[in-house]
Amino acid sequence: KQEVTQIPAALSVPEGENLVLNCSFTDSAIYNLQWFRQDPGKGLTSLLLIQSSQREQTSGRLNASLDKSSGRSTLYIAASQPGDSATYLCAVMDSSYKLIFGSGTRLLVRP
């Protein structure tokens, strides 16, 4: 059974810092991995999608990497801003097209 773990559970950083969020999964037979952002009480916003054949994806200040063989992904956020404060979720898609989510990292960027 696929399990997804995110570390750390919570993170507080001063504005301007670069930071890394970690995601690990137990079964390397995934189709893709997706990073989402969730603001309190809101739905999910897709940030980046990495196909299983890809190593990384970039969008603006965000860069996500994928090492399928070791079951790891990282989300790198450059020059963090208070507006980046949210919960970040990673999810892997299995062979039945279902998304399995990690428990999330709650990020607070202090002004």
Partner 1 sequence: SAVISQKPSRDICQRGTSLTIQCQVDSQVTMMFWYRQQPGQSLTLIATANQGSEATYESGFVIDKFPISRPNLTFSTLTVSNMSPEDSSIYLCSVPRTWGYTFGSGTRLTVV
- Are the C-beta atoms of 102 and 91 separated by less than 8 Å? yes
Binding residues among 43-82 for partner 1 as defined by CB under 8 A: 43-44, 46, 49
- Are the C-beta atoms of 64 and 73 separated by less than 8 Å? yes
Q: Is 98 in the site for partner 1 (CB under 8 A)?
A: yes
- By CB under 8 A, which span of 14-22, 28-36, 63-71, 74-82 interacts with partner 1? 28-36
Nearest to 33 by CA among 6, 69, 75, 66: 66
**Minimal distance, residue 54 CB to partner 1, in Å:** 13
Q: Is 91 in the site for partner 1 (CB under 8 A)?
A: yes
**Minimal distance, residue 98 CB to partner 1, in Å:** 6
- Are the C-beta atoms of 74 and 47 separated by less than 8 Å? no
What is the number of alpha carbons within 13 Å of residue 90 lying toward its C-beta?
A: 28
Which residues bind to partner 1, rule: CB under 8 A?
32, 34, 36, 41-44, 46, 49, 89, 91, 93, 97-104
